[in-house]
Structure 1
Amino acid sequence: MNILQLDALGSDPATRTAALRTAYGCFPTGVTAICAVRDHQPVGIAVSSFVAVSMEPPLVAVCVQHTSTTWPRLADLPRLGLSVLGADHDAACRQLAAKHGDRFAGLDWSATDDGSIFLHEAATWLDCRIHQIVAAGDHDIVLLRVEALEIHKGVGPLVVHASTFHSLAQLATAKAN
């Protein structure tokens, strides 16, 4: 066994970050979009750190970098729409993660009366409010309380593994039939 000790990487933070990113990328994960209306405009981010936390109360969690310039525009809103991105959302995911430009250009979406935004063709929609925010290193763990949901059977999720998008659409289609 040849376990790489992080301290052995030296003092270069870029080398340490690259090693951690590669290790973390070995775990496949779904991708979500957290979106809402602010000042009559859509605001949203792509988030790959999503986990179901609790059935009672109904909680999910996402992790958001402290350096995000978009999260502060979402963090104080009363409702947030969480879309579990569908297999065909790879371009939408890149667009929502972009630092510049109109993140919603060409995307099909709907908004609730409370301001949650949901992307069409998502595997599921969760209408949430912030339950708690916990600081954790260079991220915040955001616990979201699910207030409403809509499941889209037959829509497979978008999965990221080793920094590459993958589809589980065949699995979702097989389960729906």
Structure 2
Amino acid sequence: MTTTTIDPAEFRKVLGSYPTGVCVITALDEDRPAGMVVGSFTSVSLDPPLVGFFPDKRSTSWPLIEKAGHFCVNVMASDQGEVCRAVTAKGAEKFVGVEYTVSEHNLPIIADSIAAIECRLYSVTEAGDHWFVLGEILRMETVREDEPMLFHRGRYGSFAERM
């Protein structure tokens, strides 16, 4: 088997040309919210209903979410950049100013997100320097109809229809 060497900077540049949606994965760490911003969220299966995402193994938030055993995928709208900045903050600054409610599954649902998808942890598989996390959907809802936040070439933005 031959191993190909890929330059990390080139990897990020090339794959950064593919836009992704932006989600915030949340759970409760005892009574405090834990969360992380991801651009790797995807639907996986209808039967059973599964979704997935890929947290970095170096993440300090992922172990808290994993320990909770369930999580919520909050699909971000294009006007929620401040929410993403607050969730990516470190220490006591994390989640400052982020409005959320706690669902019947004891999960933080971020106010004004486009959609909320509540899941139980289904599996975690090693995938290089990341984990491949699958969640089985417990409940889902569209919260509002609006433009999604997108991540492209290192920047946040929104969708613009071209016809």
Structures share fold, TM-score greater than 0.5: yes
Matches within 5 A, 1:23-172: 23-168=14-159
> For residues 38 and 25 of structure 1, what CA distance do their matches in structure 2 show?
32
1:29–1:49 CA contact under 8 A, matched in 2: yes
2:75–2:148 CA contact under 8 A, matched in 1: yes
Provide the secondary structure at the position in 2 that maps to 1:57: coil
> For residues 98 and 141 of structure 1, what CA distance do their matches in structure 2 show?
23
Provide the secondary structure at the position in 1 that maps to 2:147: coil
C-alpha displacement of 1:102: 2.2
Alpha-carbon deviations, 1:91-115, whole Å to 9, x = none? 2112212334422111111111332
1:80–1:115 CA contact under 8 A, matched in 2: no
Of Structure 1 and Structure 2, the greater helix share is in: 1
Alpha-carbon deviations, 1:30-67, whole Å to 9, x = none? 01111111121111111111111111111110001110
TM-score (norm 2): 0.90
Unaligned runs of 5+ residues in structure 2 are none
Q: CA RMSD in A?
A: 1.6
* 1:83 counterpart letter in structure 2: N
TM-score (norm 1): 0.83
**Structure of larger gyration radius:** 1
Provide the secondary structure at the position in 2 that maps to 1:143: strand
Percentage of identical aligned residues: 28
* 2:56 counterpart letter in structure 1: Q
For 1:3, the equivalent position in structure 2 comes to none
Aligned residues: 158
> For residues 47 and 38 of structure 2, what CA distance do their matches in structure 1 show?
24
Alpha-carbon deviations, 1:120-167, whole Å to 9, x = none? 111100011111111000000000111101113422210001011111
Q: 98-107 or 155-164, which moves further after superposition?
A: 98-107
> For residues 166 and 67 of structure 1, what CA distance do their matches in structure 2 show?
26
Unaligned runs of 5+ residues in structure 1 are 1-5, 10-15, 172-177
C-alpha displacement of 1:77: 1.1
* 2:85 counterpart letter in structure 1: R
